[in-house]
A = this chain, B = another copy of it.
Amino acid sequence: MTFMVEDFADTTAAEVDATVDAAASAAGAWAARELADRARVLDGIADRLDAHAGELVPLAMRETHLPQPRLTGELKRTSFQLRLFAQQVRDGGFLDVRIDGADAEWPMGAPRPDLRRMNIPLGPVLNFAASNFPFAFSVAGGDTASALAAGCPVIVKANPGHPALSRAVGALVAEAIAECDAPQGTFGLIFGRAAGVRALTHPGVAAVAFTGSTAGGRALYDLACARPVPIPFYGELGSINPVFVTADAARSRAGDIASGLLTAVSSSAGQLCTKPGLVAVPEGAPVLAELIGAAPVPTGELLNEQIAAGFAGAVEHMRAHPDVRVLAGGSAGQALLLTTTARAVLGDRDGLMREMFGPATLVVTYQDTAELLELARSLHGELTVSVFAEQADDTTRALLAAASGVAGRVLWNAWPTGVSVTYAQQHGGPYPATTAPATTSVGTAAMTRFLRPVAFQSVPEDLLPPPLRTANPLDVPRSVNGARPQ
């Protein structure tokens, strides 16, 4: 494997401070821009990404080794995502406006004053870009789009795996911001681990978004909590995205499930946060024979040397376990299927429920339904849990109940890869899947991470922010006296 990552100088401490100071200075003006202007900047970034796809995709291919169709699709998803957030900004529902009229007879026992509440931006957001989605979770990805949409300046700490692409996309973001006369400090880009840590501990930063490893994410989370003024840390860390295959499904759809699993494990060389890393099937099920008999699946090169080293280490750890053996694959450039028993996993949860970030999965055989359910009830926090089954019965009800208890998304007869950007999406989950289980980093609800409510009590009309004025000049949805938003 060879890697061609250009050398980019780390941002110096003084440059980091200047970048954060600029973001802090820009925060008021960016927050105060009309919603239509804010939406125009997001659309402007999307238009530029699309217009420059011909240069950006080859650059991404060179830096990440991901194939062209995947990157072309990812860029399209990224510009779509920016435009979806622009729509959300124009709609104004994210402001969550609530208006209580004054009420002398309020049954609390004291008169209710006039109270009007709306969400405002938190302030500068530091976004640690991910390695595995050089467009969708990087410089102009979901965290940047949702933070800008919320009205926050953004400082991106570039992922070291694609620095040239980061610079190129960063220049397009800066251009879209300049075109709309937004303050320059609304967007900043920094490079290097030390630069990221310095920004994280800078008083000017108000919130952090992170996508990456559990170890790296936890270290940054700890720093965010230990600040004199702690700040919200929205970290997406590790997930093994368990898949539970019932005996019925394993029997009647062995071929489909085996081929679906191989695709989910090997696409993008397995470097997806929702790659299934643990698949429970019944002992002796036909699906095992299908997996052993399948043609080896080529996976392509890993993203970069650091990822490759991390994957090799994770596989080595797993293979060294006395109860783990190779089921199929695993030659150079092939997906690897390891296998063990449910009993072994239940006996060593921390050792065997462990992410291998790359094209490998652990096929876990269970003896009976009781063991399947015990396994499902022993999970850590997960982004996703999938159930493959033929019917609704006590077992599948129990599996879905266990799944929703630990995961942000629960799937039925579907693979968790290919996270759709929609209104109802939930890409999050209990720790260690994320450090903030009530939030999502994909879908329109991602904006809420970067907002906080303010209530205005008895403030005269002409001093209220426009969304709170009685006439509702921006026509945003509002809940009045507790009624459903109109």
Instruction: Write the residues of chain A forming the contact surface with B, with a CB cutoff of 8 angstroms.
Output: 28, 73, 76-77, 80-81, 93, 98-100, 106-110, 112-113, 115-117, 120, 122, 221-222, 225-226, 229-230, 232, 381, 392, 396-397, 400-401, 404-405, 407-414, 418, 420-426, 428, 430-432, 435-438, 440, 444-445, 448, 451-460, 462-463, 477, 479, 481-482, 484-486
The CA of A96 and the CA of B222, in the complex, are separated in Å by 31
Q: Is the CB of B112 within 8 A of A229?
A: no
| Option from B412, B425, B479 in Cβ contact (under 8 Å) with A458 | B412
Cβ of A109: which chain B residues have Cβ within 8 Å of it? 73, 76-77, 80
Cβ of A407: which chain B residues have Cβ within 8 Å of it? 454
Q: Is the CB of B479 within 8 A of A423?
A: yes
> Which interface residue of A28, A112, A120, A226 has the most chain B CB atoms within 10 A?
A112
Chain B: which residue is nearest A449 at the CB level?
Answer: B438
What are the 6 A-B residue pairs with the smallest beta carbon separation, nearest first? A426-B455, A225-B225, A98-B424, A117-B424, A76-B109, A423-B482
Chain B: which residue is nearest A76 at the CB level?
Answer: B109
* Copies of this chain held together in the complex: 2
Q: Is the CB of B116 within 8 A of A455?
A: no
The CA of A458 and the CA of B482, in the complex, are separated in Å by 33
The CA of A193 and the CA of B444, in the complex, are separated in Å by 42
Q: Is the CB of B408 within 8 A of A454?
A: yes
* A410 → B minimal CB distance (Å): 5
> Which interface residue of A81, A110, A462 has the most chain B CB atoms within 10 A?
A110
* A376 → B minimal CB distance (Å): 13
Known: A109-B73, A463-B397. A100 touches B426 (CB 8 A): no
Cβ of A453: which chain B residues have Cβ within 8 Å of it? 408, 426, 428, 438, 440, 445
Chain B: which residue is nearest A74 at the CB level?
Answer: B109
Q: Is the CB of B73 within 8 A of A424?
A: no
The CA of A14 and the CA of B99, in the complex, are separated in Å by 47
Q: Is the CB of A457 within 8 A of B412?
A: yes
Q: Is the CB of A484 within 8 A of B486?
A: yes
Chain B: which residue is nearest A408 at the CB level?
Answer: B454
> Which interface residue of A229, A408, A414, A459 has the most chain B CB atoms within 10 A?
A459
Q: Is the CB of B452 within 8 A of A108?
A: no
* A248 → B minimal CB distance (Å): 14
Q: Is the CB of A484 within 8 A of B425?
A: no
9 new A-B contacts, CB < 8 A, other than A93-B484, A115-B420, are: A77-B108, A106-B422, A110-B420, A397-B463, A410-B457, A412-B463, A414-B458, A423-B482, A445-B453
Chain B: which residue is nearest A108 at the CB level?
Answer: B80
